[in-house]
Each structure stands twice: as structure tokens, then as C-alpha cells.
Structure 1
Amino acid sequence: MGKNVGKQSVRSKGRGQSARAVATPSRPAQVAAILDEVLTWQSAADQSVSRYFRANKQMGSRDRAEIAAAVFDVLRHLRHYRNLAQSGPGQLTLCLAWLGLYATLEKPREQLPTEASMHDWVAHCQRISPDTLSFAVRYSLPDWLQVEIERLPQPESFAKALLQSAPLDLRVNTFKSSRANVLEQIEVLRSSQAHWQAIPTPFSETGIRINANPPLEQWDLFKQGLIEVQDEGSQLLARLLDPKRHEMVIDYCAGAGGKTLALGAMMNSSGRLYAFDVSASRLSKAKPRFARSGLSNIHPVVIRPHGDDRIRRLAGKAHRVLVDAPCTGLGTLRRNPDLKWRQTPEVLENLCRQQQAILQQASQCVRPGGRLVYATCSWLTSENEDQVDAFLKANPDFRLIDARELLPETLLETEKTSQVPVVDSAGMIRLRPDLHGTDAFFAAVMVRDAST
């Protein structure tokens, strides 16, 4: 069945020449071809999808969207689908592809090849009640992550939310424009495309949420640096650091620069904002974003993982330091579902050692009375509360401050209906996709004793 092809397409080579028929793989075969590579776990799923599209440039935007949607649906439901595919009438990845396409296409019976055995098999799978499946199979989790999720409040609600796709969140560059103005311009752009909408995010004052994936890079709003892609939870992180004009601020793990840009806009392009990262390539990719933003206070710096002279020179000088630490990224499973299959307890153990070292190094830059924010896009306690607790024990000159004072009231009000606190008794923050519509996210805000 892996050799099954759909309709023949005909490409004309010019007048007077005979037309040559080119075999086009069926949609399930296209999805299966990508899954064959993705399921080796040698690279991120989005990279495998991009490679396939580059090798098949004749595909239109609709084809690409349908294929990508099916691939990522399979990755979200992989354990469940693999369980079903054991009874499938064909090769594993082809059966997975059919399940993903049935879940994402509008009219799969009409849009997919007329293979009665496959259609009948999928129909049989759809009649199986999820209630008959174990928690790990129903929500497609590795065993070790099932254990971690079941430690959380309302674990089933959380696990179910991770199976959904995430909306597209944008952050308005307030150095150049306002959210109201950008929303007006987006409304003009979408006037002939009523199938999607853009609305203000409920918690971030600079956020816009879109329930589709329009071609942002073609928009003048994007080219002129008025908008950037950034999850609402990540936008709130800048609010926790709360940088002021004319201060010295360090984004210690700047990466692609999204949070650096948010901080720079809050500082109104004044003061000095360092974007530190150990990866020259990541900072290089961030530079076009910095240029579009119009901000002139950003200073990208490639640092060594240990013993960097520039860090020593900045010891005790920064008003505010952000450590958005490298982590498992499990809070982004709605966007990157392959991570739950690519991460392992061994990877986690190594990351925790890195996080501990990075937090300790970054804290040296904080001046007396200055603020230190530690954050991850993870929901694992070992990457979050455990790291903060260990740091505070080793550094008694730092103390936690209650993040409740720094968050918008609209976010805190979600506690009334969910019965799950946004901020715990120690003052640390957890956001969740099921309760807040953001990626799963953790942050702790600390201040250094002014007398040190």
C-alpha cells in the first residue's frame, strides 16, 4: 500500500511536444513519506516537513497545509494511533497517515483515495471509545510523562489540552505602533478572508491572537517590525522583569530574540539591553528581527558557557536579568508534539545540570536590589520549583517576591473558576493551556538583597 498513487498529473513541455505524465503520490503516501523520516527522531518534525516541501516545490499552499496538519496530528496522538495501527490493513506509517488525515481533512471520504479497506478500518477505529484506553494511550504520552502529568492538579484537563493545536499569538511592537492600530490594519488584510479572525489576547496588553496561519512574512506589518510571533505567556514574562528606561538589562539566554524585543520596547529603546547567548548562529538569526524592530538599545553578545570575561565585568551591575533557561520545551507540545517522544529522562537530567549552572552564572550580574527572573516553557517540577529552591538555598542574598503583584488581574481571576492557582504559596507562577490558553509556562521572580 505504500506504493499507492493518486491521480496522474500531466505537465506539457510545449507546443508540438508530447505531454509527459508524472505520477503524483496520494495524500496518505505523502504524509507517510514524511513520517518515515520524522519517526527516526533524528531531527525536529518541522525541519523534516520543511525538507519534504523543498524537495516537492510543485505543491500548492493548500497541499502543504493539509500534509503538515496530518503529520502533526499523528505526532500529537502517536501512542493512540500506533495502538490502533496494529490492526491496520497496511504498512504502519501509512495507517498512521490515514488516521491523521481523517482527523484533519474536512471531507476525508471524498478527499482520500477510494480504498474500501482503509476507509472501513478508520471507521472501525473511530467507533472505539477512548474510555476503554489507559490514560497514557488515550492522551498519547510516554510512561514517564504520564507520571509527571498525574502529579498536576486536574491532570486529565491538562493532558487533553496538550493534544490540541495552538493558536497563533502575535506581540505588537509598542515602540512603533499600538495594538489598536495593528488590529485595524489586520482587519483590512483579512477583509476578503472571513474564515479567520484576530482578537486581543486576554492577559497581555500587547498581544493579538489569530485562529489561523496567514502568510505573516508577506505582511508589511511584519516586514516593518510592527509585529512578532510570540506566545502570550512569553509576553507576560517581560512584564515580570518589568524593565525601566535607562536601566541595564540582560536577557541571559536570548536565543531567537523574541523576549529581548519585548524588553527593548518596554524600555522605549533607552538604556542598555544585552542579548546574551552561547550560540552565535541563534543570535545571528535574531539580528534581522532586531533591525526590523527599530530598537537601538539591543547589544547581542556571544558568550562562553563558562568563565566569560564580559560576565565578570558586568558582575553586580545589571538592574534586571532574565534567565529563560534551556529546557525540555514540554510546555510547547501543542506546537511541537514531537518533543514528548524526543525528550527522555536522561536528557532532562542533563538539562537540569545546565539550568543550575546558568542560573548561578546569571545571578552574578544582578546588582544589589536588582531583579532576577528564572523561567522555562516546561511543566516539570525538576526544571522549575526544584531549581529555584536549590538556588535560593545556595544564595541567601536572593529572595522570592510574590509574582501575584506583577500579573494582570484578568489572569488572577481565572483562579476563581478553575480552582487552580496561577501563583503558588511561594509566589511562583504556572500557566497552562487548558486554563489560560497559553503554552505551559513557569516563572519565579527574585530580588537581590540591597545590602550585599
Structure 2
Amino acid sequence: MTPAARISAAIEVLDDIIQRRRPASDALKDWGLSRRFAGSKDRAAIASLVYDALRRRASSSFAMGSEAPRALLLGMLARLRGLGLEEIASLCSGENHAPAPLEAEEVDRLVALSLAGAPDWVRADVPEWLWPAFTVAFGADAVAEGEALAGRAPIDIRANRLKTTRATLLAELAHANPETGAWSPDALRFQPGHDGRGPSLQAEPAFFAGGFEIQDEGSQLVTLLAGAKPGQTVIDLCAGAGGKTLALAALMNNQGRLFATDLDSRRLAPLHERLARSGAGIAEIRIPRSRGHEPLADVEGQADLVLVDAPCTGSGTWRRNPDAKWRVRPGALAERVKDQAEVLARAARLVKPGGRIAYITCSVLPDENDAAISGFLAKHGGFAPVPLPQLLASPEGDFSLLARFATEHGVQFSPRRTGTDGFYLACVQRGA
């Protein structure tokens, strides 16, 4: 496919996403299945165009004076990819599956490319209904934080210290131009190219050997700060595909007891293979037999640490899932808040006296973060917040600078603050 034909395809996929309010991944998959002529590089390029357009959906719509998929794509090409008018016009020839030629108003708007008079939520590319919560979280920096969340995410990996070291991986992956992470001692980072794509890391021999896992540095960092130690009993209560379970096993040096479970047992399916590849021998997967069944009943009151990677809106991962921010609705937020309260109450039954609960979200919304902890503390008098200096104290490194990002009960990361996804962490400890 020509670059122009790829743009036409991206416009078509965007129309499907917007009209049917469906995940971008589903729309892209369906498009590819029905057009077998498109090769893997074509599909990847079209996906990159679609995701980039969704990143800047609000601001491109304002600048172009239209919410049509074509307007979103044209605005993105100018605003995010930096294409000039002549280059965009050459791609819109109307020939050989290219988009129709630019209209006079489109030319004028591409030349001006103005956000003058735009509301702050538009400039930040944040859904309007979420803007009040966003400003509570970030105050005067809210627009800049939104812009950072509308950018492209790098690819981060976590060196599996059970099998290798970051220094070894740095040499083995030198051909892919890795950078060392700014915070996690196990992190390597790979920047996306001009088209938004990064290297094919899952095809590397070191990946098949279990030497690393793809994991955002923020996810690595909150897992590290949760405080798991060798020899402890640790529970990953919302394990999903197991990224944090694997990190916990490495931090525990394969010593102790580590349980991984999730209410949605289907999400645990990839973890079996990942555990085998990583060498994390202490991890035991507990699958609930039915709704309401507690697969960890035999270890209630025994856990030194219960890690709660709570279900949330995922607002902190908008760089990676830009379609999600335009699909989330107030009802979904209310449902997640309810889920968070329930999983925290469950964690309280599992943790032992003197043990802690590490509450984590990939959200930047206060309702899902500090408010969730406040609600938990109001209902569970036997728990108290872990003070921030104690939370940030770690033999793994000096994390004192993270105190700048303190919230009422914990700490909030973001792309602009820490260069990571938007993770929140707070710990509460049960009285002895």
C-alpha cells in the first residue's frame, strides 16, 4: 500500500471506531481480516496513524473545525507528525486510493493550525467530563499533564534478575539503542520511531530465554516500592497477565511464598507460560472456581504484603491506549470505584497484623486513588497509611525525589513528572 492509501485506510478505521464506539484494536483487526492484501507493515502503519489521531482527537477536531475522521487524521498529520501543507496535499490527491484533495477550508485551517480560544480540556486532549477531576489532580499543570498523556509512549523492559542483569541486556540489545531507566534499577527504554513504532523486542533471543519482560518503568517502580522481601508471604490479588507477579518473584529472589489470583480467571491464562519462561518458581496461581469463591481462604491473615493492582479507568495509560479515554463514561468510573472498595476489603482479610497492603492504579483520577484509600481507612480502623518517607525508603536506590509527587496518602507518577505511565501508589499497614 502507498502512504496515501494507508491514510485512507486509517480514516476508514477511525470512522468505524467512532461510529460504533468500539476498541481501536478490534476495529483494526476486523479491517485487516477483511483486506488480506494489506501486509504486516501496512497494518502496523495504519494502526500507528489511527492511534496518533486518537491521541489528539479533541485538539485536532478544534483546529480543523470538524469531528469527522478525515479532519482528525489531517490535524494529527500536521500537529503530531509535523507534516507541512504541501506534503499533506500531495498525500490527498484522490488517485489510487488516496484521500480526496484538500478543500479550501481544510487548507486554511492547516495553515493556521490554531487552538486560540480552545477550552483547556481541548488543549489537553482530555474528555470534557473528566476535566474537573484532572484539574484536582494536577492543578495549574493540568494542561501540560494532559498534553504529555497525549504523546507517544516509549517501550520499557524489565531485566529479569533471576536470569540476567540490566548491564548484560544493555550489551545484548545494543543494536536496538536502549537507554537505562531513570528510576527502576531493572529498566531499559526504547524510544519510538517517527512512525510511532519501536523495535520488535519479543523476537529477541533474550526474551525467549526469559531475560526480560516488557513492562512500563512506572509499573516496575510501584511494584518495587510496595516492599516485597525474600522469605515473605506475598499475594498479587489482581494479577491479570502477571507482569507484577513476575517482578515480585524477582524482587523476592525466588524465596518465600507468592500467590497470584484474579477474579477474572481468563486473564491469568498467559501467566503460566510467562512463569515458566522467567524461572519464577515460587509463584502459585490460584484460580477462583466460581463467583464469590475465595481461592486464598487458606492464607487469610497470613500475608506480609497484599499487592492490589486495582481495576481502574486506565487514565494513566492513555499514551498506550488513546482510544480508551474517549470511550470511558461516568458510569464506568463509578463502577471501578465500587470494585476498588471491594478488592481493598478483600485484601484486608488476607493481610496479617503488621503487614501492609500496597494499593496501585494506573490512573491519575483522585476518585480512584486518594479517595479510595480515604474510604478504606474510614471503614477499617485497624489500618494506617505508611508515611511517605518510609514508603520511598528502599535498598534498591534513592527514591527521595519522588516525594515531590506526593498526594494525601501516596504518590502519583505521570509521563510529565516521571517519564512513566500514570501510576498511583499508596500503602496502608495493619496494626500489630
Do they fold alike, i.e. is TM over 0.5?
yes
What is the count of residue pairs matched by the alignment?
A: 413
**C-alpha separation between the residues in 1 aligned to 2:36 and 2:273?**
26
- Structure 1 residues 339 and 234, CA, compared in 2 at 3 Å: closer, same or farther? same
Gaps (5+ residues) in structure 2? 95-99, 193-197
Please name the residue that 2:97 is paired with.
none
Q: What is the match of residue 97 of structure 1?
A: 73
What does 1:58-97 align with in structure 2 at a 5 Å threshold? 58-86=37-65, 92-97=68-73
Matched residues in 2 for 1:41 and 1:171: separation? 37
Q: Which residue of 2 is the match for residue 169 of structure 1? A: 156
With over 3 angstroms needed to count, the CA separation of the structure-2 counterparts of 1:54 and 1:175, relative to structure 1, is farther
**Bigger shift: residues 373-382 or 110-119:** 110-119
8 Å contact from structure 2 (residues 234, 306) kept in 1: yes
Taking only aligned residues, the RMSD between alpha carbons, in angstroms, comes to 2.5
- Choose which of 271, 281, 284 in structure 2 pairs with 1:299: 284
Contact 1:161 1:434 in 2 (8 A): yes
In structure 2, the residue matched to 1:199 is: 179
Structure 1: stretches of 5+ with no match in the other structure: 1-5, 8-23, 191-196, 416-420
Instruction: Tell me the CA shift for residue 376 of structure 1.
Output: 0.6
Q: CA distance change for structure 1 residues 309 and 335 in 2, over 3 Å: closer, same or farther?
A: closer
Summarize the Cα distance change of 1:398–1:377 in structure 2 as closer, same or farther, 3 Å threshold.
Answer: same
User: Would the alpha carbon gap of residues 435 and 120 (structure 1) be closer, same or farther in structure 2, given more than 3 Å must change?
Assistant: farther
After TM superposition, give the deviation of residue 93 of structure 1 in Å.
2.2
Work out the CA distance in 2 between the residues paired with 1:445 and 1:332: 21
Deviation at 1:299, TM superposition (A): 1.1
Partner of 1:17: none
Where do residues 100-119 of structure 1 align in structure 2 (5 Å cutoff)?
100-102=76-78, 103-104=80-81, 108-109=87-88, 112-114=91-93, 117-118=101-102
Amino acid at match of 1:46: S
Query: Shift of residue 254 of structure 1?
Result: 0.1
Give the superposition deviation at 1:99.
3.0
Bigger Cα displacement from structure 2, 265-274 vs 303-312:
303-312
Instruction: Verify: 1:311 aligned to 2:291, yes or no.
Output: no
Which residue of structure 2 lines up, in the alignment, with residue 33 of structure 1?
A: 12
Q: Residue deviations 1:167-191, cap 9 Å, x none?
A: 111111010000000010000x33x
254-263 vs 439-448, greater mean Cα deviation: 439-448
1:446 aligns with 428
1:252 aligns with 2:237: yes
Other-structure match for 1:47: 26
SS at match of 2:336: helix
Establish whether residue 422 from structure 1 lines up as the match of residue 417 from structure 2: no
CA contact (8 A) 1:27 1:112 kept: no
Deviations, residues 73-119 of structure 1 (Å, cap 9, x unaligned):
2111212333345469xxx3233333334443767448613258417
**Aligned residue in 2 for 1:209:** 189
CA offset digits 1:416-447 (Å, max 9, x no partner): xxxxx3223x5511112111111111111111
- Aligned partner of 1:20 in structure 2 is none
Residue identity in the other structure for 2:75: L
In structure 1, C-alpha distance between the alignment counterparts of 2:183 and 2:316, rounded to whole Å: 18
Superposed displacement of residue 405, structure 1: 3.1
Instruction: Answer yes or no: is 1:159 the counterpart of 2:138.
Output: no
- Give the Cα separation in 1 of the matches to 2:128 and 2:424: 23
Distance in 2 separating the partners of 1:109 and 1:352: 44
Contact (CA 8 Å) 2:4, 2:92: kept in 1 or not?
Answer: no
User: With structure 2 as the length reference, what TM-score do the two structures score?
Assistant: 0.88
**Does residue 221 of the first structure (1) align with residue 209 of the second (2)?**
no
Give yes or no for contact 1:414–1:435 (8 Å, CA) kept in 2: no
Q: Is the 8 A contact 2:11 2:70 kept in 1?
A: yes
Deviation at 1:123, TM superposition (A): 4.2
Instruction: Compute the displacement of 1:63 (Å).
Output: 2.8
CA separation of 1:304 and 1:155: change in aligned 2, threshold 3 A: farther
Deviation at 1:56, TM superposition (A): 3.6
Bigger-Rg structure (1/2): 1
CA displacement 1:231-271 (0-9 Å, x = unmatched): 11110122122222222110000011000000011112222
- CA 1:178 to 1:122, structure 2 compared with 1: closer, same or farther past 3 Å? farther
Quote the sequence identity (%).
33
Mapped partners of 2:219, 2:17: distance in 1: 28
